[in-house]
Amino acid sequence: MQEQQNEMLKGIILKGIGGFYYVKHEDSIYECKARGIFKKRKITPLVGDRVSISIQSEDEKLGVIEEIHPRKLEMIRPSVANVDQAVIVFSVKSPDPNINLMDKLLAMCEYMGLNAVLCFNKFDLLKDDEFDHFYSMYENAGYKVLKTSTKINHGVDDLITVLKDKISVFAGPSGVGKSSLLNNVQPGLKLKTGALSDKIKRGKHTTRHSELIELATGGWVVDTPGFTSLDINYIELAELDTLFREFRDFNNQCRFNNCMHISEPGCAVIEALDEGDIHPSRYESYKYFYNQITEHRRYKSW
């Protein structure tokens, strides 16, 4: 057995399961344990972590995680580090887009400091400019909007460009074509199939874990159901308006510093709404979330 105790390699954790972490360095995947010091410090390595590893056996591709490099972002559900963006996928029809859910996902991304890209799929089901106003609403709010169709292969190149060299998590309701989109990005890509099964020799694991899938066109996709919790009740009312990008130019111009943009006099957000600078649909989502959080606070105080 060839021993290389002193060599340190940098890599990225693709998957962690049963105390073992699978770290990719260049074209190799190393099965690693983490140093005990991480447990003492209550630090758990996460999928997506950039790490330095020492090599125990190059022949068997075994190593030890010696260092976890600083994380630029840490998601809790799913547990992934260093995600660059969320690709939020909704279909334009079959099923129709749920605007409230879409705005909630966008608000959650803003809360986590995660960039969001909106992808409207099944574009082939539309007639002419049927949804142009819908796209412009989110583009005017400051989001990148993609229009895709796997049926006519429309917009897939744009999605490939968005995914390139980034770690992306997909989110959105079932039936909108997320898997079909990814299979168009990389033909034959089937998530949830255990991409590391050839490396993992310790039996089949049925527990759900996040995993990074490398794309041939560049970038990584998190193999996970996406956001597993859509609860926004933990968000403070005072920061809710900051989660709506188009509000930010106005929410500091209100007459009152603690303005909640509901019915207060001299509210710059409501004035912007009246002047067409904020879309009514987005404002309705804001009010809905405001009332939801308020009701939750009231219920907890009983």
Domain that residue 292 falls in: 237-301
Whichever domain contains 128, its CATH number is 3.40.50.300
Does the structure show a pLDDT above 80 at 191? no
Amino acid at 108: M
Q: Quote the CA–CA distance of 27 and 256 in Å, as a whole number.
A: 58
Look up tokens 């900051």; give the residue: 242
Number of domains in the chain: 3
Q: How would residue 243 be classed by pLDDT, with cut points 50, 70 and 90? A: very high
CB distance 302 to 161 below 8 Å: no
Reduced DSSP (H G I as helix, E B as strand, rest coil) percent helix, strand, coil of the chain, to 5:
30, 25, 45
pTM value?
0.87
**Residue 4 pLDDT > 60:** no
Q: 301 falls in which pLDDT band (50, 70, 90)?
A: low
36 part of a folded domain: yes
C-beta separation of 179 from 87 below 8 A:
no
User: In the numeric block, which tokens belong to residue 117?
Assistant: 């890209």
Phi and psi at 284, nearest 5°, equal -65, -35
Residue range 5-30, pLDDT digits in tens: 567 999 999 999 999 999 999 999 99
| pLDDT tens-digit series, residues 129-152 | 878 888 899 999 999 999 999 999
120 and 185 part of one domain: yes
Q: Are residues 172 and 286 in the same domain?
A: no
Asked whether residue 134 falls in the same domain as residue 248, the answer is no
Is 3 within the bounds of a domain? no
Inside any domain, residue 232:
no
255 in the same domain as 214: no
Q: Is the dihedral of CA 217, 77, 104, 287 positive or negative?
A: negative
Residue whose C-alpha is closest to residue 102's, from 141, 158, 148: 141
Average pLDDT, the chain: 88
